[in-house]
Amino acid sequence: MAVELPKLPYALDALEPHISKLTLEFHHGKHHKAYVDKTNELIANTDLAKKSLEEIVRAAAGQKDKATLFNNAAQAWNHTFLWNSMSPKGGKPTGALAQAIEKDLGGFATFAENFKKAAVGQFGSGWAWLTLANGKLEISATGNADTPLVHGKTPLLTLDVWEHAYYLDYQNRRPDYVSTFLEKIVNWDFAAGNLQKASQRKAAE
């Protein structure tokens, strides 16, 4: 069961003018594909070849001899999560997610301010995340390929702050890129669905 490059959940030009078709062509078709291809190369003829991508990420985490595999598999997973974290319709959170943001993060305006700080403040390459940890929402950032998956947290939403994610459209203006994500293209339905699934798993325990 080879790892596959997923199709984007929208057309290549669906996020314009906020994220250009050219950026998605490179980001999805070149960068993401390269992580998928390298992961498949590294798991070929091993006991991980029939595992899911998430299982591969977890198995490689913290293993020095599997550092290259972790970097590529985690990047492949993070990017798939990223595509779903964006949507042409944008908007603001509602329902249980909005209530949790109010309760745990001080409301939407405070969340947006602190998420932007995490994303802009991540030195070099990495990711900004909204996660669920110990029953509460958290904002965090990870460097390079690192992912909350391997730190006991449930990812709800992410933003890629590697330069390849935004440089064609925003050059060095990472703050503008992050603000645009929050104001125009964040997929709150996806985040709400992830929160609901996590709550259902917890209830079933």
Identify which of 127, 179, 150 has the alpha carbon closest to the alpha carbon of residue 63.
Answer: 150
Residue type, 135: G
pLDDT at res. 35: 98
Question: Between the CA atoms of 120, 150, 28 and 20, what dihedral angle is there, to the nearest 10 degrees?
Answer: -20
Residue 140 is predicted with a pLDDT of 97
- Classify 32 as helix, strand or coil: helix
- DSSP for 12-23 reads TTTTTTTS-HHH
Res 1: pLDDT = 63
In tens, the pLDDT along 71-80 reads 999 999 999 9
Read off φ and ψ for residue 39, nearest 5 degrees: -60, -45
Q: What is the pTM of this model?
A: 0.95
Residue 202 has pLDDT above 90, yes or no: no
- Residue 172 is classified by DSSP as T
- Say which DSSP state 8 is in: P
Predicted confidence at residue 37, as pLDDT, reads 97
Q: Contact, 151 vs 52, CB < 8 A?
A: no
Mean pLDDT across 52-81: 97
CA distance 54 to 49: 12
Selected residue with higher pLDDT from 1 and 49:
49
As beta bridge partners, residue 139 has 130
pLDDT digits (tens, 9 = 90+) for 167-189: 999 999 999 999 999 999 999 99
pLDDT at 205 over 90: no
Q: What is the three-class DSSP state of 169?
A: helix
Q: Model confidence at 69, in pLDDT bands (50, 70, 90)?
A: very high
Is the Cβ–Cβ distance between 32 and 79 less than 8 Å? yes
pLDDT in tens, 14-50: 999 999 999 999 999 999 999 999 999 999 999 999 9
Cβ neighbors of 81 (< 8 A, separation 6 or more) are 155, 158
- Residue showing tokens 């590697």: 162
